[in-house]
Amino acid sequence: MCDLALLAANSIKGNFGQRFASYDRSMREKLIFEQKIVDTMVESLQREEFLVYLQPKVAVDTSRIIGAEALIRWKHPEFGMISPADFIPVFEKNSFIYSVDLFVWEKVCHMLRDWKKKGITGIPVSVNVSRTDLYHEALPETLTSMITAYGLSPEELHLEITESAYVQNSRQLPDAIRRLKEMEFIIEMDDFGSGYSSLLALKRFPFDLVKIDRGFVSGMLQDKTQAAFVPALTSLVHNVGRRVCLEGVETMEEYEAVQKLGIEVLQGYYFGKPVPAEVF
Ligand code: C2E
Ligand code: MG
Ligand code: MG
């Protein structure tokens, strides 16, 4: 009973307005799920039960695929396919994320080298870089030696950095971003608009491309107020001299609505869902 009460208490930790909570079963299930994924993560990575899927990025002017985003999937022996939303936050908490991200980056480099051998070029792949990866002092050098080992150049492996990475205002982050830029990596700001510090981050960091969060597309056709965001954010990003990628375009109607805004790149289920590399 004490353990379960503690779980309930932890669920309102930091929430000063709420003075009591009651336990329900889902709290324990969540804990058990998290413990199980933590218990199995190392072995699972060794057994390569993590898969890398690709989702196309499309140029608005030509409607052609001009890149892809690499998105991780976990084919768990007990739970089946688990979404990154369920395990990335856990890995960010316990620092395992860096090992997982290194695995994904290496897989993508390997794939890009294979494509090159087959004569497939001009499709850079963006990988996600977790906020905690940026705290690894040697990150820029690690990435550079990885691409060199696979005979790639930095413009073939784009880096998507989620904007929550900028919430903590340490000096390490700007420094890491500056060094990555010096090494000629293309840096994309992920999920723009979804966090608290996005505008300052846009002001402060030299991104090449800004990915507007998909939350701004959903609902834009139903409501006039909602419709104002995508055009306004697009012109803001353009005014500071960066390119725009709009995430989450799901329907033809949405595609038509955003086509004339001058957005450079689109990504979303309308063009293609994340799929295994062979399918891509
Ligand atoms: P993200 O980097 O913003 O990736 C885009 C997410 O939106 C993906 O979810 C993608 O499947 C989904 N998406 C794309 N188009 C649409 C659409 O039209 N409609 C809807 N409803 N969703 C769409 P996914 O694959 O579940 O990944 C979720 C998040 O997990 C990613 O968000 C990223 O932050 C994180 N993530 C995924 N793979 C990695 C990885 O290898 N490393 C790290 N550190 N994080 C990763
Ligand atoms: Mg991303
Ligand atoms: Mg995103």
- pLDDT at res. 156: 97
Q: What is the pLDDT of residues 219-253, one digit of tens each?
A: 899 988 899 999 999 999 999 999 999 999 999 99
Q: What is the dihedral of CA 194, 200, 201, 206, to 10 degrees?
A: 140
- pLDDT at res. 180: 95
Record the tokens describing residue 143, joined without a space.
């990435």
- pLDDT at res. 196: 67
Question: What is the pLDDT of the chain when averaged over all its residues?
Answer: 93
Nearest residue (CA) to ligand 1, atom 41 = 72
Q: What is the pLDDT of residues 82-122, one digit of tens each?
A: 999 999 999 998 999 999 999 999 999 999 999 999 999 99
Confidence band of 170 (pLDDT split at 50, 70, 90): low
CA dist 65 and 207 (Å) reads 21
Q: What is the pLDDT of residues 33-84, one digit of tens each?
A: 999 999 999 999 999 999 999 999 999 989 999 999 999 999 999 999 999 9
Ligand 1 binding pocket mutation candidate from 41, 49, 58, 71 (most atoms within 8 A of CB): 71
104 Cα: distance to centroid of ligand 2 (angstroms): 13
